[in-house]
């Protein structure tokens, strides 16, 4: 019987294309997630060869958890949303917030929430997004947890920073002075990807109106610096993780919080008067596992959200 012959395929072009895609993915990873890249390299994993590394671990029986590859998200997978919402789409989760939050909010924007309201809102956030968020954290609370958020300009990230150096929403302008906690970096060379994110997704809160701000200034100043908060627009359910990087606005403005151009755009509050009611809770994240930005594509909740809609652009989605 003659030997069986098999066709020979030239896969040179395929290999070249795969290498190009790997390089492009690594470049994107380095640009948007420098901390994750540093962690991978410290662990002996080359960012562009994550798949190869995972394969080795699998074959040696060392890999204990699943390595999820797909959307450009790198980080620890946090506890998933409750079983009740595990299979819900992004639109359904937002709609749940839109339908349930009004019953937990006072009729007057800016009025204080009761302890029961705060507890129920925290549970709703945990159920839908799998994130622990509270109106009071470590004994600290703001003068408002529900109020109007108004548009802020970009903050200078280092001496000499200009609005032209910012990626998006340059028409929003840049403040003439530093934020309440100073520059994010001492120079352009010291500006890291993490600090870029901190300015991009910043909020201003009224720390100066806290009753113990002056008596506990040294402690509170450090506690609030870059403190993570979760912000929800209750009219559309959009939810974003931000950090405190400025103080204000003043009471006479009628606003209780300020949001960066990116925060306001994502929440769909960057139109008209550029002002709207939001819920703002502290994020209980002692291990710094929750990244800044819109929760549905920056925080992994299993495959559900990425399958349904994948990464979303910042505005008008």
Per-residue pLDDT tens digits of the chain, which is 317 residues long: 444 444 454 555 656 656 666 676 676 667 666 666 666 665 566 666 655 554 444 444 433 333 333 333 334 444 566 667 878 888 999 999 999 999 999 999 999 999 999 999 999 999 999 999 999 999 999 999 999 999 999 999 999 999 999 989 999 999 999 999 999 999 999 999 999 999 999 999 999 999 999 999 999 999 999 999 999 999 999 999 999 999 999 999 999 999 999 999 999 999 999 999 999 999 999 999 999 999 976 444 443 343 333 333 333 33
Question: What pTM value is reported for the model?
Answer: 0.72
Give the model's pLDDT for residue 84. Answer: 77
Distance CA 197, CA 37 (A): 15
Do the bridges between strand 239-247 and strand 202-205 make them parallel or antiparallel, or are there none, so unpaired? parallel
Domain-wise residue ranges, the chain: 12-60, 83-308
Give the model's pLDDT for residue 257. Answer: 98
Nearest residue to 228 (alpha-carbon basis) of 241, 209, 210, 213: 241
Give the model's pLDDT for residue 62. Answer: 36
Q: Which whole-number Å values give the CA distances from 312 to 36, 202, 269, 309, in the listed order?
A: 20, 19, 17, 7
Nearest residue to 245 (alpha-carbon basis) of 294, 280, 202, 275: 202
Distance CA 142, CA 145 (A): 7
Detail the DSSP E strand segments found in the chain.
Answer: 133-134, 136-137, 140-141, 146-151, 202-205, 228-232, 239-247, 257-259, 275-283, 293-294
Is the CB of residue 251 less than 8 Å from the CB of residue 233?
no
Give the model's pLDDT for residue 189. Answer: 97
Specify the 3-state DSSP secondary structure of 264: helix
Is the CB of residue 275 less than 8 Å from the CB of residue 258?
no
Do the bridges between strand 146-151 and strand 257-259 make them parallel or antiparallel, or are there none, so unpaired? parallel
Distance CA 48, CA 16 (A): 14
Is the CB of residue 128 less than 8 Å from the CB of residue 93?
yes
Do the bridges between strand 146-151 and strand 239-247 make them parallel or antiparallel, or are there none, so unpaired? unpaired
By CB neighbour count within 10 A (0-12 exposed, 13-18 middle, 19+ buried), where does 144 fall? buried
Distance CA 233, CA 254 (A): 18
Give the model's pLDDT for residue 246. Answer: 98
By CB neighbour count within 10 A (0-12 exposed, 13-18 middle, 19+ buried), where does 220 fall? middle
Q: 83-308, which class in CATH?
A: mainly beta
């Amino acid at each position: 019987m003659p030997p069986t012959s098999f066709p020979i395929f030239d896969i040179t072009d395929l290999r070249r294309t795969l290498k190009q895609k790997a390089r492009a993915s690594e470049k994107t990873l380095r640009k948007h997630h420098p901390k994750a890249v540093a962690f991978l390299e410290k662990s002996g994993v080359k960012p562009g060869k994550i798949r190869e590394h995972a394969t080795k671990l699998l074959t040696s029986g060392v890999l204990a958890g699943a390595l999820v590859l797909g959307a450009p998200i790198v980080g620890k997978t946090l506890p998933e949303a409750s079983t009740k919402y595990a299979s819900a789409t992004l639109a359904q989760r937002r709609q749940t917030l839109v339908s349930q939050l009004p019953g937990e909010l006072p009729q007057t924007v800016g009025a204080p929430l009761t302890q029961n309201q705060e507890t129920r809102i925290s549970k709703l956030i945990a159920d839908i997004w799998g994130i622990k968020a509270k109106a009071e954290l470590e004994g600290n609370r703001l003068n408002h947890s529900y109020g109007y958020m108004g548009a802020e300009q970009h903050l200078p990230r280092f001496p000499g920073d200009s609005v032209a150096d910012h990626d998006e929403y340059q028409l929003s302008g840049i403040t003439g002075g530093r934020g309440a906690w100073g520059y994010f970096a001492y120079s352009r060379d010291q500006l890291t990807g993490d600090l870029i994110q901190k300015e991009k997704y910043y909020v201003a809160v009224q720390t100066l109106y806290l009753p113990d701000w002056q008596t506990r200034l040294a402690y509170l100043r450090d506690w609030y610096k870059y403190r993570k908060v979760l912000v929800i627009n209750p009219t559309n359910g959009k939810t974003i993780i931000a950090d405190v990087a400025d103080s204000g606005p003043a009471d006479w403005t009628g606003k209780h919080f300020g949001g960066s151009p990116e925060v306001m755009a994502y929440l769909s509050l960057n139109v008209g008067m550029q002002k709207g009611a939001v819920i703002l809770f502290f994020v209980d994240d002692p291990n710094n596992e929750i990244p800044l930005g819109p929760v549905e594509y920056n925080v992994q909740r299993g495959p559900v959200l990425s399958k349904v809609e994948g990464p979303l652009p910042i505005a008008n989605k």
